[in-house]
Amino acid sequence: MSQLIALVEDDADQRRNYAAAIEAKGYRTAEYANRPQALAGIARQQPDLVVLDIVLEDEIDGGFQLCRELLVQHPDMPLIFLTHRIDEIDRISGLRLGAWDYLPKPISLGYLAERIASLLRLVEFRHPDQREKQGVQVGQLTLFEDAMLARWQGRRLELTVTEFRLLSHLLRQPGHAVSYEGLMGATRQQYVTSNTINTHMRNIRRKFRLADAGFDCIENEYGYGYRWSGPE
């Protein structure tokens, strides 16, 4: 059976347009206009990926709340914010909540469909039954570039796509400072600032410390960027 994409969008015309573009790629869709509908529908049938707006009918931050609720129940569920709200504080909030991507409206329907396909391929790589290819070893850290997986002391780190890209870029030159500009480019996203990078790095450090409370291999170079200071 084809994979199921949940669309949480209160504008019926936009929602239908998104659904048509995604269905044309061979996926199934489930459409929801608000947070209560989405919670009820996803409880009945869990989707493979969720695309959601932030403003949902009379809830200004309904998408943020929905994201929190879904990730409590399904920590590995891929979520994409698709919204007119592109201020840095909103982008940072979405990423801190655990979204895999944050896309601005208006958006090309073709690009949206391809972005979903790309993330679903990544999910397949991350499936426990997927055989991991030989990783790159840096000290106690192992990176599996194809699967975008990272293991610290043998324990898997639950990194988002963007977090993995930043970590991988940082490790290209262990011991050397990497500039904010270089890290921004590594995210492959628009509207990235130094504050956005700082937020990602805090999240990366937090996830390392869940595996190792004494982790201290990522150093901030004030005003410039970050450095991986762990053993090679």
Domains and their CATH numbers in the chain = 4-126 (3.40.50.2300), 136-228 (1.10.10.10)
pLDDT of residue 129: 46
Secondary structure of 104-137 in HEC code, one letter for each residue = ECCCCHHHHHHHHHHHHHHHHHHCCCCCCCCCEE
* Residue indicated by tokens 């796509």: 161
pLDDT of residue 126: 60
Q: Which two tokens stand for residue 32?
A: 């929801």
Would you tell me the crossing angle of helices 35-44 and 62-73 to the nearest 10 degrees? 20
Please state, in angstroms and rounded to a whole number, the distance separating the CA atoms of residues 19 and 36: 20
pLDDT of residue 191: 81
The pLDDT of residue 230 is above 70: yes
The pLDDT of residue 132 is above 50: no
**How do residues 141-164 score in pLDDT, each as one tens digit?**
999 887 788 999 989 999 988 999
User: What sections of 145-212 are H helices per DSSP?
Assistant: 161-170, 180-187, 194-211
**How do residues 22-70 score in pLDDT, each as one tens digit?**
999 899 999 999 999 999 999 999 999 999 999 999 999 999 999 999 9
**How do residues 65-89 score in pLDDT, each as one tens digit?**
999 999 988 888 999 999 999 898 9
Q: What is the mean pLDDT of residues 196-210?
A: 95
The pLDDT of residue 131 is above 50: no
* Residue indicated by tokens 């206009």: 33
The pLDDT of residue 134 is above 90: no
